[in-house]
Homo-oligomer: A and B are copies of this chain.
Amino acid sequence: MNKVNLKQLAKELNLSVSTVSRALRDSWEISTPTKQRVFDLAKKMNFQPNPYASSLRKHRSRTIAVVIPEVANNFFALAIKGIETIAREKGYHVLIYLTNEDGSEEMSVAANLQSGRVDGVILSMSGETGDVRHLMELQQRNIPLVFFDRVCDSIEAPKVVTNDYESGFVATEHLIKAGCQRIAHLTISMGLSISHKRMKGYTDALLRYDKPYEDTMIVHCEGSDEENFLKIRDLLASDQRPDGIFASVEMLAVQVYHACRELGLEIPRDVKVLGFSNLVTASLLSPALTTIAQPAYEMGKEAATILFRRLEKKYILTPDHRVILPARLEVRSSTL
């Protein structure tokens, strides 16, 4: 019971292949009774058009790629969910590629996508990406690209982000108002748009509230979880220990908790902690973690919506279309 195609349907119905094809696509060129005959037999024989033949002929695959640094992470998982939801609605298929925060993997994925396998790409940049030619080449091949969260400002493409600068500012301000005198900032790869902006928000808030900026309070966490843990532990064990920590990503906030536990520091008494995070368990941690929560699901949906709008040429949007969805500060006991 295998592989029924147009030719077989046509023979069975005493019609030509082209007529059957058109009937199935509900063309006005085909009479209603003929269409009905075709529909009925197609259903009866469980005809499924070969997507590869169709894609080859139409130069459209109804497939998009999602390229992200990591999936075992609430933010990206939710974003995927948002993207998949919209894709499903639109009848598109979603290929997923994980770069593991590795710039060279991102490059090889992008190179691969030049084959025309997908109609469009939704991407969040990996941590270690230096040059971005691989992405520009996608654009040159007329493969629409939409960034989300970790965008690349030097490339003209729609971008879906949160208000990272403001969030960085608000986060720092919140720690200051909670009484912190020396606030550390844990950041990831500084090549990333988000790191940059969150950091700027941090420094501007320090400035605004006359708090000193200290180099030693900036910890670049670009290694493995273990390496980052050690860096954070060292920071907390130093005699210049911060009394507030602003973690720019979820995992770093988690490591702060582990480090405090190991060092016997009590949050928030000894050090107040705040982190970007979409942890569902934030409120259940000991103590509950104050977070900046990004609208990950909505960001995914928005990115997908923009991409499909481009693919279906519905609206023409400016090449540097930018959607900014606000993140929200959720105050909990780790900063009381």
Which positions in A face B, CB cutoff 8 Å? 1-3, 46, 48-53, 55-56, 61, 63, 70-74, 77-78, 80-81, 84-85, 88, 93-98, 111-112, 114-117, 137, 140-142, 251, 254, 257-258, 261, 279-281, 283-288, 297
Contact = CB atoms under 8 A, between A and B. Distances in A.
B72 A72 contact: no
A72 B61 contact: no
A61 B71 contact: no
Contact of A52 (B61, B77, B280): B61
Given A96-B96, A286-B287, A142 B2 contact: yes
Given A52-B56, A56-B50, A114-B46, A81 B96 contact: no
Nearest to A50: B116
A297 B72 CA distance: 10
Q: Which of A72, A85, A287 is the most central at the interface, judged by chain B CB atoms within 10 Å of its CB?
A: A72
List 8 tightest A-B contacts by C-beta distance, closest first: A286-B286, A48-B115, A52-B55, A52-B56, A72-B77, A52-B52, A257-B284, A96-B96
B94 A96 contact: yes
B93 A94 contact: no
A49 B281 CA distance: 46
Nearest to A46: B114
